Amino acid sequence: MILADEDLISLIETGDAEAFATLYDRHSRSAFSLAYRMMGDRQAAEDLAQDAFLKVWRNAASYRAERGSVRTWVLSIVHNRGIDQLRSTASRRRTQEKIEASAPRSQPSEAFSETWRNSQRDQVREAMGTLPPEQLKILELAYFSGYTHVEISELLSLPLGTVKGRMRLGLKKIRDYFDSRDVAVPR
Amino acid sequence: MSEMNHERFEDLKDAYVLDALPEDERRSFEEYISAHPERQAEIDELGAVAGLLAFSPHEQEPSAELRRRVMDVVEAEAEPRRASRRSLFSRLGDYVGARSLALGAAALLVIGLLSWNLLLQEQVQDLRSQAQQSKTIELQGSWAEQGTDAQVAYIGKNQVILVAKNMPSVPDDRTCQIWVIHDGVPDPSGLFQPEGNMTAAAITSSIKKADAIAVTVEPAGGSKKPTSDPVLITEL
């Protein structure tokens, strides 16, 4: 029998390592991919993923199903701890991101063109591919690199209002992508 | 910093869900939400959109060493608790209930081993025969129209199993998910992977006062709510 993620979390709460291993095998690739995207370094990404999964193991009781799926919860732990680490090593990252921010980018739609369109992941990539590069860049700087809106404003030499506006439009565009297909935003 | 109010909330909510507020603004924003809990749902919804970014990075394979490191810690910490906790498999009994444990366990066993041993198909046939001897209800839907013969069979007062043959296969990153529906609200009630000609799956939620049972195809690991139309469904 295949247990749902929520059932595995219940078992992990009781100290069931076998249930944890199953959950790890289901979500480690997504978690590591996010960690790698945030940290930009394989060893740092593995340290972050390990840290996050041990938090899942030790704090399974804090999962709240009404706030979203287990996968979303696991990824939010990776994200939150990644943001903490990035901000604690902010100065080192700043230089790297400044270079990236000024470098020419390929269009997201090209980067995401290798699709398997039925998968949720590719739907998300496709949704992000609809964003203008200037909106996507600001979402990425905030979400993956841990910059505040004020820092992004300074980094890109844009008025703070423009940064907020692009955040708003970018998120709206992703939501509109799912609404237009009559598909619920995955949680 | 400006005082937090409705306008400021609207101005900052996108940065908040992206975790892009400076610490003082974040604290102020969260205090505002605490004082206005009616805005929480809006933030949750917007946060779900922002959270989609987590799915977008190109896939990277973590090393086997990472798994070993994590599991070493987990196993070490699990050991002291193991003696006083019930195991995964003993907990499964909760879903089935004592009266129908034997039948449920047979079903679970069959699901796990069906693809490995064709001989077990006979056991599924026996199970199906037992199910047919009790009350059964046939499921309808697109898969039924394509030749799937699926039934739910009562094995206890409010407990049922799903028995089916000729189910189409689903991709590796997808799974079949059972839903028990009360007042239009679907409750996740078990996952299974169609394998071989015959499949049996325990339905893990009580069907007491349920209106319907449905099966959808969901991403691997299952979903909190259905993300696709039912391929099989029956009213109770």
pLDDT tens digits, one per residue of B17-48: 999 999 899 999 999 999 998 999 899 889 98
B205 contacts in chain A (CB < 8 Å): none
Q: Tell me the whole-structure pTM to 2 decimals.
A: 0.57
Residue with the two structure tokens 């998300």: A124
ipTM score for this prediction: 0.78
* Mean pLDDT of the residues in chain B: 77
pLDDT tens digits, one per residue of B114-156: 444 544 555 555 555 544 445 678 888 888 888 888 888 876 6
Quote the CA–CA distance of B31 and B35 in Å, as a whole number: 6
A46 contacts in chain B (CB < 8 Å): 62-63, 65-66
**Beta-bridge partner residues of B202:** B161
Cα atoms in the 13 Å half-sphere on the side-chain side of A164: 12
Quote the CA–CA distance of A95 and B201 in Å, as a whole number: 55
Quote the CA–CA distance of A130 and A107 in Å, as a whole number: 10
3-state DSSP assignment of residue A2: strand
Q: In whole angstroms, how large is the CA radius of gyration of chain B?
A: 23
- Nearest CB to B62: which of A1, A28, A80? A28
pLDDT tens digits, one per residue of A85-132: 888 765 445 545 544 544 444 433 333 333 333 356 778 888 888 999
Listing DSSP states for chain B in one string gives -PPP-HHHHHHHHHHHHTT-S-HHHHHHHHHHHHH-GGGHHHHHHHHHHHHGGGG-SPP-PPPHHHHHHHHHHHHHHHHHHHTTS--HHHHHHHHH-STTHHHHHHHHHHHHHTTT-TTHHHHHHHHHHHHHHS-EEE-BSHHHHTT-EEEEEE-SSS-EEEEEESPPP--TTEEEEEEEEETTEEEEEEEE---SSEEEEE--S--TT--EEEEEEEETT--SS--S--SEEEE-
- Nearest CB to A37: which of B20, B57, B74? B57
CA separation, residue B26 to residues A85, A171, A175, B15, B22 (Å): 18, 19, 23, 9, 6
- Nearest CB to B22: which of A71, A118, A148? A148
- B190 and A1 within 8 Å at the Cβ level: the answer is yes
pLDDT at B92 over 80: no
